Structure 1
Amino acid sequence: MHTVIIGVGGVGGYFGGKISHSGQKVSMIARGTHLQAILNNGLKIKSIDGDFETKPFLVTDDIKKVDKADLILICTKSWQVIEAAELIKPMLKEDTIVIPLQNGADNTEKVMSVIDPKYVLGGLCKIYSKIESPGVISHFGHAPEVIFGELNENTSERLLKVKEVFDKAGFKNKVSENIQGDIWSKFMFIATVSGLGALTRATIGEMYAHPELNKMLRNTALEIYQVALKKEVAMPPNIVEGIMNFIGKQPYTATASTQRDIMEGKPSELDNFNGFIVKEGKKLGVETPTNAFVYSCLQPMEAKARKAKN
């Protein structure tokens, strides 16, 4: 199996690095100083589970150099998914499998708006990781895991092919029987902690321990749940309580990547998280006051970051 990683950040760098380190064929699409560092020194992973280095089969910024893919993992930010889906078109063959792994609730829909839905599986990952420096990925929290499944909830042979790649790589992975529900559950967690964390500049543990912020976390999650129900996503009725318990078990000093992006003045996934819920709420007739408050407060910073990038 030839695996192609689109976006070699904390997610793509870690999981792609693990697949490459296991001796499998991996091509990575990277840019700038990160690309050059990997070409010169290989990809270095600093992990709480043990450091390692790997030299992927190919690392390039030129899509024309990449062989046809058996498996493509899209690991960009949510707002880059459509661009990434356009990018992978030359790598597709009849049985290529495409899995978007970034945070967000509608990434599969974005990918399927660009390429034939037959290629696409739903997916998500759980990991705390980031680019520490060019060519170096830091994994600093959570047992890394990828969850994936057919969007129609069927079982298929191609799911087993993907699982074989992940099993050989040596990271935790699971075939989901309700991938949309799993995607929305992960989205509920990340959207709940990211926006409020960026607004307060507080860690996940600090927010959970603060009575009023804890209440805001719960209200944010509840609004996401109500939007999900309107969209007919199958989610357990106690999911909000489950998410709050999960938040309470996170490392006290942990922060989400979107929070870190906003605090560092970088373009973020704000529009794809709290902004997405506000937009969907208006469309579906669901009140989302907490998400709207967080989103509105952070919008000026997001606009400034995007203007600076352009």
Structure 2
Amino acid sequence: MHTVIVGIGGVGGYFGGKIADSGQKVTMIARGKHLEAIQKNGLQVKSINGDFITTPFMVTDTIDEVEQADLILICTKSWQVVEAAKMIRSILKEDTIVIPLQNGADNAEKLLSVLDSKHVVGGLCRIYSKIEAPGVISHFGFPPEVVFGELDKTKTERLQKVKEVFDKTGFNNRISDDILVDIWSKFMFIATVSGLGALTRATIGEMFGHPELNKTLRQTATEIYEIGIAKGVALPDDIVDKIMFFIGKQPYDSTASTQRDIMEHRPSELDNFNGFIVKEGKNLNISTPTNAFIYACLQPMEAKARKK
């Protein structure tokens, strides 16, 4: 199996690095100083589960150099998914599988706007990781996991082929019974803590422990639940309680990647998180006042970051 990783940030760097380190054929699409460092020194991963350095089969910023792929993991930011989908069309075979792993609720839909449905499998990952320096990935929290499944809930032979790739790496992975429920459950967590965290500059533990901010977290999650249900996602009735419990179990000083992007004046996934819920609320005639407030407050910072 030839696996291509598009986007070598915290997610693509860790999971792509683990696949390459297991001896499998991996091509990484990177750019700039990060690309140069990996080409020169290999990809270095500093992990709470053990550090390693790996040399992928190829690291490039030119898709024309890449061999056709059996599996493609899209690990860009949410707003870059459509661009990535257009880029990879030249390396698709008849049976190439494409899985998006970034945060967001509609990444599979974005892929389907460009690619034939036969290529697209739903997916998500759970990890705290980031680029520490060019060529260096830091995994600093959470047992890494990839969850994936067919969008129509069928159990197909190709899912087992993907699982074989992941099983060789040693990181946790599973085939989902309902990938949309899993995607929206993770989205509820990440969108709930990201925007409010950026707005308050508080850690997840600080927000959860503050009575009023705890209420705001729950209100944000509840609005996301209402949008998900209206879109036909079979979210369980107690999902908001479960997400709040999960938030409370996070490391006290942890922050979400989108929160860090906003605080460090980088373009973020704000539009794909709270902004997505506000947009879907308008489309579905569902009120989302908490998400709307958070989104409006952060929009000026996002606009400045994107002008740089």
TM-score, L = length of structure 1: 0.99
| Aligned residue in 1 for 2:65 | 65
SS at match of 1:169: coil
Query: 1:65 is matched by which residue type in structure 2?
Result: E
SS at match of 1:235: coil
SS at match of 1:56: coil
Which whole-Å CA distance do the structure 2 matches of 1:117 and 1:306 have between them? Answer: 32
The CA deviation at 1:222 is 0.1
| Aligned residue in 2 for 1:14 | 14
SS at match of 1:94: strand
**For this pair of structures, how many residues does the alignment match?**
308
| Aligned residue in 1 for 2:102 | 102
Which whole-Å CA distance do the structure 1 matches of 2:169 and 2:163 have between them? Answer: 10
Residue 138, structure 1, aligned to residue 138, structure 2 = yes
The CA deviation string for residues 110-130 of structure 1, in whole angstroms up to 9 with x for no partner, is: 001001011000000000000
SS at match of 1:126: strand
Which whole-Å CA distance do the structure 1 matches of 2:245 and 2:87 have between them? Answer: 39
| Aligned residue in 2 for 1:25 | 25
Which whole-Å CA distance do the structure 1 matches of 2:149 and 2:292 have between them? Answer: 31
| Aligned residue in 2 for 1:288 | 288
Residue 307, structure 1, aligned to residue 284, structure 2 = no
The CA deviation string for residues 149-202 of structure 1, in whole angstroms up to 9 with x for no partner, is: 000000000000000000001100010010001000000000000000000000
For 1:216-231, list aligned pairs within 5 A: 216-231=216-231
Query: Which aligned segments of 4 or more residues in structure 1 are displaced greater than 6 angstroms?
Result: none
| Aligned residue in 1 for 2:93 | 93
The CA deviation at 1:268 is 0.3
Query: 2:79 is matched by which residue type in structure 1?
Result: W
| Aligned residue in 1 for 2:157 | 157
| Aligned residue in 2 for 1:126 | 126
| Aligned residue in 1 for 2:273 | 273
Which whole-Å CA distance do the structure 1 matches of 2:10 and 2:243 have between them? Answer: 23
The CA deviation at 1:269 is 0.1
Query: 2:5 is matched by which residue type in structure 1?
Result: I
Q: Which blocks of at least 5 consecutive residues in structure 1 are unaligned? A: none
Query: 2:39 is matched by which residue type in structure 1?
Result: L
Which whole-Å CA distance do the structure 1 matches of 2:235 and 2:289 have between them? Answer: 22
Query: 1:168 is matched by which residue type in structure 2?
Result: K
| Aligned residue in 2 for 1:201 | 201
Which whole-Å CA distance do the structure 1 matches of 2:88 and 2:72 have between them? Answer: 8
- What is the aligned-residue identity percentage? 74
| Aligned residue in 1 for 2:52 | 52
SS at match of 2:155: coil
Query: 1:292 is matched by which residue type in structure 2?
Result: A
| Aligned residue in 2 for 1:77 | 77
Which whole-Å CA distance do the structure 2 matches of 1:69 and 1:270 have between them? Answer: 31
Which whole-Å CA distance do the structure 2 matches of 1:273 and 1:214 have between them? Answer: 19
The CA deviation at 1:59 is 0.1
The CA deviation at 1:287 is 0.7
Query: 2:140 is matched by which residue type in structure 1?
Result: F
SS at match of 1:102: coil
Which whole-Å CA distance do the structure 1 matches of 2:118 and 2:217 have between them? Answer: 37
Query: 2:227 is matched by which residue type in structure 1?
Result: V
SS at match of 1:45: strand
Query: 1:167 is matched by which residue type in structure 2?
Result: D
The CA deviation at 1:285 is 1.1
SS at match of 2:94: coil
Query: 2:238 is matched by which residue type in structure 1?
Result: N
| Aligned residue in 2 for 1:259 | 259
Query: RMSD value over aligned CA atoms?
Result: 0.4
The CA deviation at 1:27 is 0.1
Which whole-Å CA distance do the structure 2 matches of 1:54 and 1:205 have between them? Answer: 34
SS at match of 1:128: strand
